[in-house]
Amino acid sequence: MSPKVGVAPLRREQIVRATIRCLAREGYSGLTMKKVARLAGVSPGILHYYFVDKRAILVAALETVTADLDRRVAAAQARSGQDPRARLRALVHACLQSSVAAREVWIVFVEFWGEMMHDAGLRAINAGLYARMRRLIGMPVAQGIRAGRFRRVSPIEAAAVILGLLDGVSLQLTFDPQAFSVATAARFCEDALGRYLAR
């Protein structure tokens, strides 16, 4: 039976959010459709109407946490103005802060990456996601190069360096939030990027 018109997007969101909570608690190996249905407060039949299997629901969880992170970054950059350095600082702070304030984002990434290593379809999804992120991060880099604020580098290659730095430091904060503070991590990243992009 299909859900009522208007209910479908809310129900799907409810199921995906339950999946994210389940992944954060038990990982992909502990994720079952039955657990997700119970946590979402829906019947297994309703769950299967939206998602055919665990893989499909994992992809939806990845898309959702990515959109959540995109919104955090966009909001931080909107507050930062148009200066390319400020926009990169906002990106750094939003990503690092999410490691502590929204750990489930990075836990979903880790669980997805683990499954991706054995699934060509998931690897293709991840490759597309990373290509998009490199384009987005490359935009303020290109802006800074045009304005004479940064040295002449390939914006996409610079974006790959920035993304690698953010992934690594964000994961350390996710795994061990006591290792260093977000502020310390942000200073480290800003110093590294400042040296990398300096004219």
pLDDT tens-place string over residues 26-52: 999 999 999 999 999 999 999 999 999
Residue with tokens 């935009």: 139
pLDDT at 3: 56
- pLDDT confidence of residue 166: 95
Q: What's the confidence (pLDDT) of residue 8?
A: 86
CATH superfamily entry for domain 63-197: Tetracycline Repressor, domain 2 (1.10.357.10)
Domain with CATH 1.10.357.10 in the chain: 63-197
The answer for residues whose C-beta is within 8 angstroms of residue 17's C-beta and 6 or more apart is: 40, 64
Q: pTM of the prediction?
A: 0.90
- Whole-number pLDDT of residue 7: 79
The closest alpha carbon to 130, from 102, 105, 161, 151, belongs to 161
Which pLDDT belongs to residue 199? 82
Where, residue-wise, is CATH 1.10.10.60 in the chain? 1-52
* Low-confidence residues in the chain, pLDDT < 70: 1-6
pLDDT score of 147: 94
Rounded to 5°, angle at Cα 57 from 123 and 104? 85
pLDDT at 2: 54
What tokens were used for 13?
Answer: 């969101």
CA 115 to CA 47: how far, in whole Å?
Answer: 21
Candidate CATH numbers 1.10.1370.10, 1.10.10.60, 3.30.420.40, 3.40.1390.30; the one for domain 1-52: 1.10.10.60
pLDDT tens digits along 54-74: 999 999 999 999 999 999 999
